[in-house]
Amino acid sequence: MCGIVGYTGPRQAYPIIIKGLKRLEYRGYDSTGVALQNNNLKVYKKKGKVADLEEAIVGQDLNAHAGIGHTRWATHGEPSDRNAHPHQSASGNLAMIHNGIIENYAQLKNELIKKGYQFKSDTDTEVLLNFIEEIKINNNCSLEEAVRIALKRVVGAYVILLLDKDDPQTIIAARKGSPLVIGIGKGEHFLGSDASPMLEYTKEVVYVNDYELAIIRPDELILKNLGNEKITPYVQKLDLELAAIEKGGYEHFMLKEIFEQPQTIYDCLRGRLDANAGTITMAGIQQYADQLIKANRIVMIACGTSWHAGLVAEYIFEELCRINVEVEYASEFRYRNPVINEGDVIIAISQSGETADTLVAIETAKAKGAIILGVVNVVGSSIARASHGGAYTHAGPEIGVASTKAFTAQLAVLTMMALKIAHIKGSISEERYRLLLKEMEEVPEKVAIALKQNDHIKQLADKYKDARDFLYLGRGYNFPVALEGALKLKEISYIHAEGYPAAEMKHGPIALVDENLPVVFVATKDAYHEKVVSNMQEIKARKGKVISVITEGDTTSTELSLDTMVIPETDEILAPMINVVPLQLLAYYIGVAKGLDVDKPRNLAKSVTVE
């Protein structure tokens, strides 16, 4: 939620900030703004996307060597010019941007109103900014000290960046619960919600931790905790190339990321899985192998698409490892006082590694003695740092808001984890283990074959783009795939879609079926295939439009379907990594056919760092 950028150094700040905001626009695009500092504090902001701001400030004085920028996903207050960030304090001397939610803002606001403050926006950010200025004035202290005092009163999540008119080269920053990266250059510093705004300028970064405050000048970076104790910054080297965050000739990031999946799954397997040797090497899992083998249960916590990956993994772990698995929405798990016993294993799944609900949920479980394993994409992210162990997915940056390659990479990691534990535990035969390793190595190639359906699926999208509703059905390993297919369609096309277990169709959803309803079956060859075929016949008998994802050579499903999307045959445990690909393409092309911005769907943001 929300993208933040900052710069201080010898270069012109505005071009760096505006380019950085464009790279972070997937985090929020309700409104955009910049504050520029050059012996005078100038704030420009505009409802809409970054391009709208650029157009609106043509001809303005943009000369500055320090500045901050923000692209907003609205929480407090509707998207508008006045609610856009940065906000200025009542005196006009301070400017601030903020990612997060201040939960006790109403109490702080009432205190300030009683002291005569008036507010120009509906945001919690303006409240926090004026609270900081009130402390600075009343205590006759530095901005750094005022921030420290204010944040001890604040309840909620935040990353804040502040500029002070009287200290033109300094940016004050602090974080709790939302990500902040500082890039270190030669006589200059860069700030961002992630590393993408600074990739072409530096590969050396510092990930700021919760309850840390940073004082950033061109030639100086000081990190402190809220107790005013200095902390030595831990500098890391970025293993990320600029090309990874550019479209590379594709019309949208989402399409690029769908087509990257043969490579990203291969990258996930590379160096870990060796079918010839019969080995899976995962150091972050091996370290906790005994706890996994002895665990009475595994709890997977996640949100959105990552939750669907967890549902697939539940089938896989229970089948291969014979361990009880529960899959929980992180947002529900954190609030319902769950029963956690010492020795329980929690697997936290998150693309960004910053999902607020998931982060709080694992901290809750950790405090009760659970082992926390993270499956995340972003190196150095909060969930990765909070976990005891785990594995990175190595999918590379995912810019499209609707997750695609992150999902298949998560499935690859979770499947390898299950295979490794099952092999050590002896709950899988050596023959079955070796066969699955061999088939796993073939998944990237089979995904590439599935992608050859691209042009055909584009035609299907044109055919079904005007439908008002969709129903997605699957059984067993393919039930979560149906859920994910429906979610993608909702996110990208704004068409109402439901995913359901195919057998549950008769317990309610079949009432929706008529000649206008497209029903998408994930009907590949597996142990449930004959049952799914029966469900297809029931839909066809009621004149529903049957669309099927089927295994190559399946004539039965073809005869029952108006349209099919064909994928190569693979073991049912591994099939979800392949079966989901046609559904990703279908959602993408329906969104495009409807003229929508598929990379930035309305109301959505990539990384949900607030509740």
Enzyme catalytic residues: 2, 606
User: Phi and psi dihedrals of 477, rounded to 5?
Assistant: -60, -25
- Mapping DSSP onto H, E and C, the string for 339-385 reads CCCCCCEEEEEECCCCCHHHHHHHHHHHHCCCEEEEEECCCCCHHHH
Q: How far apart are CA 317 and CA 202, in angstroms?
A: 41
Q: Which conformational region is residue 337 in: left (phi greater than 0), alpha (psi within -120 to 50 degrees), or beta?
A: left
**Sign of the CA dihedral 589, 591, 592, 598?**
negative
Q: Taking Cα atoms as reference points, which of 159, 133, 209 lies closest to residue 384?
A: 209
Residue 189 CB partners (closer than 8 Å, separation 6+): 6, 7, 8, 9, 171, 182, 183, 216, 217, 218, 221
Q: How far apart are CA 22 and CA 49, in angstroms?
A: 9
Q: Which residues pair with 489 in a beta bridge?
A: none
Q: How far apart are CA 312 and CA 574, in angstroms?
A: 10
Q: How far apart are CA 385 and CA 351, in angstroms?
A: 14
- Whole-angstrom Cα Rg for the chain: 25
212-217/297-302 β-pairing: unpaired
Q: How far apart are CA 156 and CA 103, in angstroms?
A: 5
Residue spans of alpha helices (H) in 477-610: 478-493, 529-541, 555-560, 576-593
CA distance readout (Å), 384 to 75, 372, 378: 26, 10, 8
Q: How far apart are CA 444 and CA 263, in angstroms?
A: 7
The one-letter amino acid at 411: L
Q: Taking Cα atoms as reference points, which of 189, 248, 178 lies closest to residue 399?
A: 248
Q: How far apart are CA 366 and CA 581, in angstroms?
A: 35
How many Cβ atoms sit within 10 Å of the Cβ of residue 55? 11
How many Cβ atoms sit within 10 Å of the Cβ of residue 317? 24
Residue 527 CB partners (closer than 8 Å, separation 6+): 476, 572
